Structure 1
Amino acid sequence: MVNVHFANGPLRLPETPHALPPEALTAMLGVSEEVGLSREDAEKRRRAVGSNAIEARPAATWFALLLHQFKTPVVYLLAGAAGLAFYFNELEEGGAIVAVLAVNAVIGFYTELKAVRSIEALRALGAHTVRVLRNRVVSRVPAEDLVPGDVVVIEAGEAVCADLRLIEASRLAVDESTLTGESVPVEKDVQSVSQGARLSERRSMLFKGTTITRGSGRGVVTATGLATELGKVSRLIMEVDAGNSPMERKLSRLSTQLVGATLVVASVIAALGLISGQDELLVIEAAIALAVAAIPEGLPIVATLALARGMWRMAEQNALIERLSAVETLGATTVILTDKTGTLTENRMTVQQLLTSSGEVVVSANPPDNALLSRAGADQELSLLLTVAVLCNDADLENADAEGTGDPMEIALLRAGLSANMSRSDLLFKYPLLRKHAFNPSTKMMGTIHSSRDGILIAVKGAPEPIINSATGVLHEGSEIRFDEETRSKWNNYVGRLADHGLRVLACAVRHPPQEPDDPFHELVLVGLIGLQDPARADVPEAIRDCQNAGIRVVMVTGDHVATARSIGRAVGLDTSEGNVVEGRELHEMLRTGTPALRDVGIFARVDPSEKLTLVRAYQNAGDIVAMTGDGVNDAPALRQADIGVSMGLRGTDVAREAAAMILLDDKFSTIVKAIREGRIIFANIRRLVAYLLSCNLSELMVIGLAVAGSLPLPLLPLQILYLNLVTDVFPAFALAMGEGEHRVLNRPPRDPKEAILGRTQWRAVILHAMALSAATFAALGIGKWLGFDQRASVTVTFLTLAFAQLWHVFNLRSRGTSIFVNEMTGNRWLWSAIGLCTLLLALPPYVGPAAHLLQLVPPTAQMWLVVLFSSTAPLIATQIVMLARSGTRPNRS
């Protein structure tokens, strides 16, 4: 019990209002259901409990986001190098480093500026007015002014604006799919349920954010704002820490390692220089050069652009990425937890089977290629079954493609009638409506009375058990076959068989009395049964097979019944064998026995929102990279927690879309597979470009370090290295990120989520390539000295040799076993464009006065260019020879 204190004493708020009788609840809340609260009492309660609104967590300010861009070890190191440059009056070098830091910060700031707005969407979901009884008068008030104890009047079409305990209900049905995952409207009544009833079983309650689909009623407010079930979802979202993606964590770890290594190397080189008596300014300049050389300044830019390019490619395939890091995360996905309703299914009830005494009809999913068209005209029982389903109906449907209004199951019946050329308007013209008996929750039947050429026609539909048990017989070839116990049992078994296949079953019956009776639900003749289901999407089975081939497990997580979940799971290719379908109430016991049991489960049914969140965390704790799909409010916390949350774009709620990292614009599960393929390609491309960047930067580090250790003049100056990194790091690396990838990328299992961007093999290749590049640079320096080049000319030759050697190095990144001339590198048009642009940016500065002065270069002579050409191509030629020699002796690796 929760106490809310007023000036005149505490008000007790019930923790399990669904279990209390209406009179006990109203007494506890201090309200009369005939009078309602007074305006004064309502205002006091509002001051005590607050507004009926879902409070949003304060979003990060733009200044905080901008400041966040400078909180990395790489920035600290480069900022220290800039500080040293300014201190020793090297203004140009210091300014250039600051400019690079600014560019990186602007890009990072832009990518993080869009904050997640899940809570704001939840607030908007409740922005309505509501009819409330106060001082015996029903009037409309803003929904945010509701307080516990208010008596609220509701009817079909209205949104529920607070949690209510029903005190009056007439034919009341509610769409709770966005909160519980239940795929059909839930019947509601005033009867109390057990204290331990799950959310989807609380028939005496209405919940904030759901919608009334049929009937009317009154309810007493039991919870508002964050205390509602919708508010609890909001709390879950606020508590979830999305954290960094695997790629972000790996890049951060790599950056930290680079900074640590750079500090060690710079300290050792500086100490050796000072011990050997070298000029202090020269040593400091060398330390700055080492810091600049070791850090791939272009890596954050290129990684961001590579992910953005993946995002563009995914958008072309109807997958909208809300967070750039989600592009790579998809490629590492090991398990997909998918909602059923609206994700694996159409989120539209459809007639699946019709059963009469003449036989069974399985309905095609694609009218007009529908069995009903060819059967209904010739089959008397089938024709009458559809006639009853269409006449005894409160829904409206203009045509078979329209959405319709009313109960989804009744809309499905009208759509089935239209597929057999039976429109409700035509049938009502033939059988004018005399009277309607609305659906009665106690009898679980609805009836309509019509006039016909033969007198009176009573059409009845409802739950199969009461209709079969009250029917006198079944229609067969135009005549009634009287029920005996065996026949009645047989039809009840038919009902059980359809229900076991996950179908919602309705029975239809008729009666032809001589005159209109007072009670239409007696002496009925059963016409047949109709099985309905929210069917699986046509593209889902193939998409799930693709996931399984890629080593990705697909697990259904739904709030729906076990039989329905098992039926859909069977249809889409999930494992539905005994023990592989688990109810939510069994989940906590399973987790206590250990997470390995999770790997044997294909379907979780009757799962609450908090349990979805528990599931995501359990898989993550087991080391999985989790993608979570969904479209409802109930999915939002799990979407936020998952490594990659995937929402439906067409049917998804605002809350789900805001919580997700990826939105499927076409609502197709198969689009996820395409996105996963793209994610794997992006990781392979990023691995390739990181290897390229590090081999280039490590070669610069070797050139500077060896020169200082050997007491040689600096062959490269800090500003030259900075310019070199911005040119050769950014453009070729970006071109590598644009690669189309391997076609068989989905035929391999997911990589180990803990796998580093660069493994031992990649690091060995990086070091060997860097040694080749630095050796070529020293060779050019030595040849220049031998040819008598002065210091400026030697520096120019060294700069151009290393620059072009790095540029040609991209061709060393082809996969082993591919042709030298035809491979993913030579076939990349972006790469050729990058090489052309970089050639201009590297060759022109020595001939442009200001640039030559800034970089301390001289215009190269023909002899100098020959030295550059020979020295820069030597590493490429040597590496290609080695690769040719090893071709066929090792497996391909990206």
Structure 2
Amino acid sequence: MNRGAPASASLPPTDGLSEGEAARRRQRDGPNELPVSRPRGVLRLAREVASEPMFLLLVACGAIYMTLGDAREALMLLGFVFVVMAISFFQQRRSERALDALRDLSSPQAQVLRDGALRRIAARELVVGDVVLLAEGDRVPADMDLVEAANLAIDESLLTGESVPVAKEAASSPQADDASKAFSGTLVTRGTGRGCVTATGERSALGRIGQSLAGIAGESTPIQQETRGVVKQVAAIGLALAGVLSVAYGVTRGDWLHGVLAGLTLAMAILPEELPLVLTLFLGLGAWRLAREKVLARSIPAIERLGAATVLCVDKTGTLTANRMTVRRLWSGTAVYDRLQSPDPALQEELHGLLEYAVLASHRRAFDPMESAIVAAGHQLLAGTEHLHAEWTLVDDYPLSPEMLAMSRVWQSPDQRDRLIAAKGAPEAIVDLCHMDADRSAEVAAQVRLMARDGLRVLGVAQATFGAAPLPGIQHDFDFRFLGLVGLEDPVRPEVPHAIAECREAGIRVVMMTGDHSATAISVARQAGLDADAAVVTGVELAGLSDEALEARLAQTHIFSRVQPDQKLRLIRAFNARGDVVAMTGDGVNDAPALKAAHIGVAMGARGTEVARESAALVLLNDDFASLVTAVRYGRRVFANLRKALVFVVAAHVPIVGLSVAPVLLGWPLLLMPVHILFLQLIIDPACSVVFEAQPLEPDAMKRPPRRADQRLFDKAVLVRGLWQGAGLLALLVGLYAGSRLLAPPGLTATIWRGP
């Protein structure tokens, strides 16, 4: 086993901490877990509901009916109190479990040395200074400095967004760099290691993301804010008019109690208490329709807001790409195979040996995504040939090391005495093993540069044979023959180019933010249909930009590469500050703060982490990027149909208000009681509004730019149209009422239209 040099200044005790010392440190620092977010309490919710105008009006009317001795009417009105509370509860009660998911992710099991013995404990019990052993397939339980590493590679895409595992080595000094650190929540894909815990809980890299999440407050959508504002303004006007009506009734008729009841009736008639219910119905039905399209709405109002999105910020890994490596290109000098350019899926005969030995140089049960891709390509492209060797026996292997960035595996076939050696690794290491001349080396180097420019991860492959004698100590003692190069990539999802084209047609700008290399980002952007010719801003450049300089660069930049989680969050906030309505897609823990800070966070459901799903407003259950365009379409439909429904609501309110005032002004008996108004506004109006929700989207709605950020739901056009329609209906109803009083026999009118 190749081991890195230990960091002598920070080397932990060889037998680990004692149980007593571990307990003292855990008492000092707390458990190795993240704090839990607290959902809104029931008492706080009850206080918010009790402050609603409709709640107060219902209680006041119920109390008056009790005073009048009409218990049936009082109980009916007070029953509506529970209806209002249930509606408010449904709208407001939503648990925020992102920190819970982070806590679960940060608390796997861990192998730790305590009192000189190896023990497996819950990761929440780890403390700073513990010695932890890592092996292939383990989830890293805490931040740590590596003091030993043998062929160790860790998948850090959960934190960085980069899909390729990072090779690790032991720290050579107390000031270890990232190559000698393992971070909480990441996954060991190859090799073994030993580390000393340096940070636990909320002080770890994963915990800092949790703190970012906790510090981002959710905000209401413009429609919710506008609806609340309209209800409050109309409620104030209604209460003022109700006071005037109560005084007029009491002065003219001498019945102050019924005057107060008439005033409250008018206030209830004016108050648009059905607006929150109509909004809930529309968004709820929109969420149901989206669920049938495999899009889960965790925050239902986000559906409408997505229709106003102007910028879509997308993560590369797992969002534009499949988050799994595949073999894209094979090159041997005499033949080339490219998965995207070869119409014939069959692999040329000249490349069979290259892929055969690439498979032999990989583990049969691979954790490393590149090895998994090579094995999968072998089973696909070499199926039915003699180049797959399930019956061969593995004799030995030579692991990757910092000194030699190549690995070799030695095989014994059943029908040969000689051993067959398959090697793969960094192209320059394979060239060195093959002792190639300068011309051939230059040819290979030129091809490597060409493949790297296309965003591919490049491996060289070589083959050798060796007699049955004892194997040599190093790989250089084999007589290797160069076979070719394997280019791997994280492929673009097939639905992405069309979806991005639809976004562009709908006036939505798409921006990529990734932790990967710029060349890889440009290659993916080109395949996805993004503007790959514009300038790319890297994380290093971003760190040096002031807020003003960043704002100037945002308008022309479509690709941000090598960005850290906090930089993604900064970019989202910068777009927000420009006045954009920002939607953000992602699937990793590193995306969670940006998902929560965006106006609409969209997470990938199948491959995405639980943290990303809990931080997002929408979840694409089948990871189909095209579903996002469907969600935009539904968002625009909800807003357009809501405006149609509001015209109806305004038109319906005018005759209700008029029939509440006219009898008092004309000396007629009261026509509408509070219970009638509640029935009309909480049952009839919402039920009729559903008709508008089912209206199809206009054919050109996805070819128009998003609506302006300042466009109001209740604008002049909606109010004027509703008032005119309502005025006509009021005139008709007042005429019918007056006519019925004139034509009815004496005494019958008082019986049919009985006042209080």
Q: Aligned AA for 1:284?
A: V
Do the aligned residues in 2 keep the contact of 1:183 with 1:534 (CA within 8 Å)? yes
Q: Aligned equivalents of 1:423 and 1:392: distance in 2?
A: 20
Q: Aligned equivalents of 1:138 and 1:555: distance in 2?
A: 48
**Deviation of residue 137 (structure 1)?**
2.0
The 3 A distance-change label for structure 1 pair 717 and 145 is closer
Q: Aligned equivalents of 1:765 and 1:683: distance in 2?
A: 17
- The correspondence for 2:9, drawn from 4, 9, 24, is 24
What corresponds to 1:533 in structure 2?
489
Structure 2, unmatched stretches of 5+, are none
Moved more, 332-341 or 164-173: 332-341
Do the aligned residues in 1 keep the contact of 2:458 with 2:488 (CA within 8 Å)? yes
What corresponds to 1:882 in structure 2?
none
Q: Secondary structure at the match of 1:132?
A: strand
Matches within 5 A, 1:219-298: 219-273=195-249, 279-298=255-274
Q: Aligned equivalents of 2:541 and 2:6: distance in 1?
A: 26
**Deviation of residue 661 (structure 1)?**
1.9
**Deviation of residue 554 (structure 1)?**
1.6
Q: Secondary structure at the match of 1:716?
A: coil
The answer to whether 1:444 aligns with 2:411 is no
The answer to whether 1:597 aligns with 2:553 is yes
The 3 A distance-change label for structure 1 pair 430 and 315 is closer
The 3 A distance-change label for structure 1 pair 429 and 349 is closer
- The correspondence for 2:724, drawn from 746, 768, 784, is 768
The answer to whether 1:660 aligns with 2:616 is yes
Q: Aligned equivalents of 2:385 and 2:612: distance in 1?
A: 37
Q: Aligned AA for 1:227?
A: R
- The correspondence for 1:181, drawn from 134, 139, 161, is 161
**Deviation of residue 256 (structure 1)?**
1.3
Post-superposition CA distance 1:452-508 (Å, at most 9, x none): 7695543221111232355433xxxxxxxxx33x44233212211211111111111
Q: Aligned AA for 2:164?
A: V
Matches within 5 A, 1:190-205: 190-191=170-171, 202-205=178-181
Q: Aligned equivalents of 2:398 and 2:335: distance in 1?
A: 30
Post-superposition CA distance 1:48-82 (Å, at most 9, x none): 11111112133223343344333334434444444
Do the aligned residues in 2 keep the contact of 1:562 with 1:583 (CA within 8 Å)? no
**Deviation of residue 587 (structure 1)?**
5.3
- The total of aligned residue pairs comes to 747
Do the aligned residues in 1 keep the contact of 2:322 with 2:491 (CA within 8 Å)? yes
Post-superposition CA distance 1:799-842 (Å, at most 9, x none): xxxxxxxxxxxxxxxxxxxxxxxxxxxxxxxxxxxxxxxxxxxx
Structure 1, unmatched stretches of 5+, are 1-19, 397-404, 474-482, 798-852, 857-894
The answer to whether 1:507 aligns with 2:470 is no
**Deviation of residue 257 (structure 1)?**
1.9
Q: Aligned equivalents of 1:732 and 1:36: distance in 2?
A: 71
Matches within 5 A, 1:541-690: 541-583=497-539, 585-586=541-542, 589=545, 591-593=547-549, 595-690=551-646
The answer to whether 1:383 aligns with 2:358 is no
Q: Secondary structure at the match of 2:545?
A: helix
Do the aligned residues in 1 keep the contact of 2:542 with 2:550 (CA within 8 Å)? no
**Deviation of residue 627 (structure 1)?**
1.8
Q: Aligned equivalents of 1:423 and 1:518: distance in 2?
A: 36
Q: Aligned equivalents of 2:524 and 2:327: distance in 1?
A: 15
**Deviation of residue 195 (structure 1)?**
7.3
Q: Secondary structure at the match of 2:475?
A: coil
- The correspondence for 1:134, drawn from 95, 110, 114, is 114
Q: Secondary structure at the match of 2:614?
A: helix
Do the aligned residues in 1 keep the contact of 2:427 with 2:458 (CA within 8 Å)? yes
What corresponds to 2:474 in structure 1?
519
- The correspondence for 1:458, drawn from 409, 421, 424, is 421
**Deviation of residue 274 (structure 1)?**
5.4
- The correspondence for 2:281, drawn from 305, 313, 322, is 305
Q: Aligned equivalents of 1:648 and 1:424: distance in 2?
A: 38
- The correspondence for 1:407, drawn from 351, 362, 368, is 368
Q: Aligned AA for 1:60?
A: R
Q: Which has the higher contact order (CA 8 A, sep 6+)?
A: 2
Do the aligned residues in 2 keep the contact of 1:584 with 1:605 (CA within 8 Å)? no
Q: Aligned equivalents of 2:425 and 2:184: distance in 1?
A: 28
**Deviation of residue 591 (structure 1)?**
2.7
Post-superposition CA distance 1:749-769 (Å, at most 9, x none): 211233221211111112211
The 3 A distance-change label for structure 1 pair 407 and 395 is farther
Q: Aligned AA for 2:458?
A: V
What corresponds to 2:311 in structure 1?
335
Q: Aligned equivalents of 1:624 and 1:784: distance in 2?
A: 57
Do the aligned residues in 2 keep the contact of 1:363 with 1:371 (CA within 8 Å)? no
Q: Aligned equivalents of 1:784 and 1:370: distance in 2?
A: 82
The answer to whether 1:324 aligns with 2:297 is no
Q: Aligned AA for 1:521?
A: H
Matches within 5 A, 1:810-829: none
**Deviation of residue 666 (structure 1)?**
0.7
Post-superposition CA distance 1:687-723 (Å, at most 9, x none): 2222211221133223333443455543433333333
- The correspondence for 2:698, drawn from 742, 753, 766, is 742
Q: Aligned equivalents of 1:765 and 1:774: distance in 2?
A: 14
Q: Aligned AA for 1:520?
A: Q
Do the aligned residues in 1 keep the contact of 2:492 with 2:528 (CA within 8 Å)? yes
Do the aligned residues in 2 keep the contact of 1:181 with 1:634 (CA within 8 Å)? yes
The 3 A distance-change label for structure 1 pair 164 and 266 is same
Matches within 5 A, 1:745-894: 745-788=701-744, 793=749
What corresponds to 1:373 in structure 2?
346
Q: Secondary structure at the match of 1:611?
A: helix
Q: Aligned equivalents of 2:412 and 2:181: distance in 1?
A: 40
The 3 A distance-change label for structure 1 pair 722 and 363 is closer
What corresponds to 2:145 in structure 1?
165
Q: Aligned equivalents of 1:172 and 1:244: distance in 2?
A: 46
Q: Aligned AA for 1:504?
A: R
The 3 A distance-change label for structure 1 pair 595 and 360 is same
Q: Secondary structure at the match of 2:601?
A: strand
**Deviation of residue 305 (structure 1)?**
2.1
The answer to whether 1:468 aligns with 2:449 is no
Q: Aligned equivalents of 1:253 and 1:527: distance in 2?
A: 71
- The correspondence for 1:115, drawn from 70, 95, 107, is 95
Do the aligned residues in 2 keep the contact of 1:84 with 1:288 (CA within 8 Å)? no
The 3 A distance-change label for structure 1 pair 425 and 65 is farther
Q: Aligned equivalents of 1:289 and 1:422: distance in 2?
A: 80
**Deviation of residue 374 (structure 1)?**
4.3
What corresponds to 1:419 in structure 2?
380
Q: Aligned equivalents of 1:193 and 1:609: distance in 2?
A: 27
What corresponds to 1:806 in structure 2?
none
Post-superposition CA distance 1:756-803 (Å, at most 9, x none): 212111111122112112111221123223324557648968xxxxxx
Q: Aligned equivalents of 2:48 and 2:643: distance in 1?
A: 25
**Deviation of residue 207 (structure 1)?**
1.1
**Deviation of residue 580 (structure 1)?**
4.5
Q: Aligned equivalents of 1:194 and 1:38: distance in 2?
A: 23
Q: What is the TM-score of this pair, normalised by structure 2? A: 0.92
Q: Secondary structure at the match of 2:424?
A: strand
Q: Secondary structure at the match of 1:54?
A: coil
Do the aligned residues in 2 keep the contact of 1:242 with 1:643 (CA within 8 Å)? no
Q: Secondary structure at the match of 1:341?
A: helix
Q: Aligned AA for 1:510?
A: Q
Do the aligned residues in 2 keep the contact of 1:685 with 1:736 (CA within 8 Å)? yes
Do the aligned residues in 2 keep the contact of 1:335 with 1:555 (CA within 8 Å)? yes
Do the aligned residues in 1 keep the contact of 2:539 with 2:567 (CA within 8 Å)? no
**Deviation of residue 44 (structure 1)?**
1.1
Q: Aligned equivalents of 1:566 and 1:581: distance in 2?
A: 11
Do the aligned residues in 1 keep the contact of 2:10 with 2:174 (CA within 8 Å)? no
The 3 A distance-change label for structure 1 pair 689 and 85 is farther
Q: Aligned AA for 1:519?
A: I
The answer to whether 1:490 aligns with 2:448 is no
